[in-house]
Chain A
Amino acid sequence: MLELEEVSKRFGDQVAVGPLSLKIAQAETTVLIGPSGCGKSTLIRLMIGLLAPDTGSVIFDGESLAVADLPTVRRRMGYVIQEGGLFPHLTARRNVTLMARHLGWDPGRIESRVAELATLTHFPLDALERYPVQLSGGQRQRVSLMRALMLDPEILLLDEPLGALDPMIRAELQGELREIFRALNKTVILVTHDMGEAGYIGDTIVLMREGRIVQQGGLRDLVETPAEDFVHRFVHAQRGAREILGGGG
């Protein structure tokens, strides 16, 4: 479905990504993780064509994004960014339905799809008439997810979707996201810098460093058979409270 072939991207003199190749597993959740500046966000932006690679190609459904009609291809992808990127001039409902209305869906179909998504994301229907500034951070992310899923895309891309939320909400949404991804059975790509989140949500974890893929596999692979010392250090860099109490007490 989605495949990167020898893709590289530089900003000025700085190599941001690659060259690297990556095949995204169908109907699984792939998590891109790595320290700040490792190129994970650049990679996801390359996948949806917000950036064009300097070399190599991004192949979606057998066609390179370089030659595809981007607006058409993007309607088959859903995209969620940190803080949601909800348009402030539109209500939650109009944010969610913007693209469907633009494509001329009939109101009944739009209405039932919105109801379906609200149930899926546990978003209260009456809050749909609010504007983004009137919603909490968690609610905004739910609306953003509804917007990304509105056209029932084949693939869902999320760039640090929970990055701006406080820990309680974040933990709650992590659980919900995992449920939603399981229920949808879609190809999902999620960018995060949180190892716990990656291990909890992801089927496959792609660990990146300085624009390259260091290791790719399940959480167990990364923990038990780290490809290099960096993997070991990265996986163990984030300590939990229990670990702190155990180590310091």
Chain B
Amino acid sequence: MRRALQCPARGALVGLLAVAACSTPIDGRPVVVVGSKAFTEAVVLGEVIAQLAEHAGADADHRRQLGGTRILWEALLAGEIDVYAEYTGTIVEEILAATDVAGDDQVGRELERHGVRMSGHLGFNNTYVIGMLEDVAEELEIRTVSDLAAHPALRFGFSNEFMDRGDGWPSLRTRYALPQENVRGLDHDLAYRSIESRSIDVIDLYSTDAEIEFYGLRPLEDNLGHFPAYQAVLLFRDDLVERAPAVVEAILGLEGAIDEGEMVAMNARAKLELVPESVVAAEFVEARFGLQTEVVLEGLLDRFARNLRGHLWLVSVSLLAAIIIAVPLGVVAARLPRLGLGILGVVGIVQTIPSLALFVFMIPLLGIGAPPAIAALFFYSLLPIVRNTHAGLMSIPAAYLDSAAALGLTPAARLRLVELPMASVSILAGIKTSAVINVGTATLAALIGAEGFGQPILTGIRLADESLIMEGAVPAALLALAAQGCFELAERWLVPRGLRIESGA
């Protein structure tokens, strides 16, 4: 009932969009929503949790590969997900960075204040490690992080999270007095490719990464003991204990159940052998708990259809809403110049908010999945339409405006019969721009769990699988072209013929 009840509470802003996000328990089975971050180990753990929850009698839904700690944490607090796998170091350094806590007991108490519980350690420590190619390290005689200080020309490429976090690059640089200037932030999975192609020399690794061996990397010894422990734990909502006690009991069975070797092996199965995470998880659950899971794998066509539907839904709803709101806003901006400056300013500023940040803002209001993505895409679609509507109206020569007024048309009739038709070329151009931007930006919506062509891109990046990336990128590009084509066709019947004639008869 909890999930059903929270819907009306979200208010009018959410409207119909939220309805799809609210699931109700079917035939009394509790619904448990599992989250996972956008890297393979997290997705495997998410699958394991989901399968255990299913075996414990729940309907488990796995919202896989969400775009980062902040998004998972906000989603957990908002009740959008019930449980996900996290690391103690991340909890201390990132989630609770504002509070000064140390030790599992203190962390546990602090988490409880947010209505979140932490399990015991799952059994492996996935801490940060600094690594470089074995042959380069050998040649430069680098074994420890301290040894890096003697080579200021080395090029560092760190994951974006590592660049920002409390125990990440800023403090590592201070701790080891590292002189390197050439330091870039990039996606963790891209970092492996970059170091393989030798365009960077030093990256941050997770100690359970399967790639350490695969790419022949040397993990450098953290000789000053800089990195805290990153023990894997489960974070779950307080209310799960009452709602689904059997599920909580089942997933707590993971405490001490996965050692580092097992995790590395599972990561290697998923990432290097490209075995689907659900299969890897099912093998583990069977081996460890003796529970058999039937894994249904989705075919390429089904997946494509699902992504296409998801993408079209995101784009069409957000674009339609943007048109309905932005055209009147553009009209108001043209009519009331002072207010217009404000309107153009605000929609311009909205455009500058990074999409990931906007997604995170949306989670407390709209949860995860399509609704917050649609809201964000809606905001991004406003500027071109408002601006072009405004510009289209402002560029109508005064002679026509005078003629319309002198005919005796009321202001509303002038707008409808003369000004909007005359501005239609410009307005449509704005909508076309918005549509193309929208189709592209919608791929990022995968970061907050929305379905669409961003999903295979995200999975493809995570698994370093180019064909999967193409499975998302190519249709998204074609969709953008199709959107443009559609609006060019629409021009033929939306733009009055008189405005499309080039010269005299």
Contact = CB atoms under 8 A, between A and B. Distances in A.
Given A81-B402, A83-B399, A130-B505, A88 B408 contact: no
B140 interface: no
B408 A74 contact: yes
Interface residues of A, number: 33
B422 interface: yes
Interface residues of B, number: 25
Interface stretch (B8-16, B273-281, B449-457, B496-504): B496-504
Contacts of A71: 408-410
Nearest 10 A-B pairs (CB), nearest first? Answer: A85-B403, A89-B496, A134-B505, A79-B406, A75-B408, A131-B498, A74-B408, A85-B399, A89-B498, A89-B421
B406 A87 contact: no
Given A88-B422, A98-B417, A133 B402 contact: no
Contact of A90 (B402, B405, B406, B498): B498
B417 to A, nearest CB: 7
Contacts of B422: 87-89
Contacts of B404: 87
B406 A74 contact: yes
A8 B421 CA distance: 36
Given A85-B402, A87-B403, A87-B404, 8 more contacts: A50-B402, A74-B406, A85-B399, A87-B418, A99-B407, A99-B409, A133-B504, A136-B504
A72 B504 contact: no
B289 interface: no
A131 B417 contact: no
Contact of B501 (A77, A86, A102, A133): A133
B413 interface: yes
A108 B418 CA distance: 24
Nearest to A88: B498
Contacts of B406: 48, 50, 74, 77, 79
Nearest to A101: B417
Contact of B499 (A48, A89, A135, A151): A89
Contacts of A88: 400, 422, 498-499
A147 interface: yes
Interface in B377-419: 399-400, 402-410, 413, 417-418
Interface of B: 399-400, 402-410, 413, 417-418, 421-422, 424, 496-499, 501, 503-505
B97 to A, nearest CB: 59
A91 B424 CA distance: 17
A85 B400 contact: yes
Interface in A129-143: 130-136
B402 A147 contact: no
Contacts of A77: 406, 408
A119 B405 CA distance: 27
Interface of A: 45, 48, 50, 70-75, 77, 79, 81-83, 85-91, 98-99, 102, 130-136, 147, 151
A132 B399 CA distance: 14
Contacts of B496: 89-90
Contacts of A45: 402
B399 A79 contact: no
Contacts of A70: 405, 408
A151 B417 CA distance: 18
A77 B406 CA distance: 8
A133 B500 CA distance: 10
B47 to A, nearest CB: 59
A133 B403 contact: no
Contacts of B409: 71, 98-99, 102
Contacts of A130: 505
A50 B405 contact: yes
Given A85-B403, A98-B407, A131 B413 contact: no
A147 B499 contact: no
A13 B64 CA distance: 68
B403 to A, nearest CB: 3
A98 B505 CA distance: 23
B400 A87 contact: yes
**Which among A50, A75, A87, A91 has the greatest number of chain B C-beta atoms within 10 A?**
A87
28 contacts: A45-B402, A50-B402, A50-B405, A70-B408, A71-B409, A72-B408, A77-B406, A79-B402, A79-B406, A81-B402, A81-B403, A82-B399, A83-B399, A85-B400, A87-B422, A88-B422, A88-B498, A89-B418, A89-B421, A89-B422, A89-B497, A89-B499, A102-B417, A131-B501, A133-B503, A133-B504, A135-B504, A147-B407
A91 B498 contact: yes
Contact of B498 (A82, A133, A147): A133
Contacts of A134: 501, 504-505
A48 B497 CA distance: 31
Contacts of B499: 88-89
Contacts of B402: 45, 50, 79, 81, 85
B494 to A, nearest CB: 11
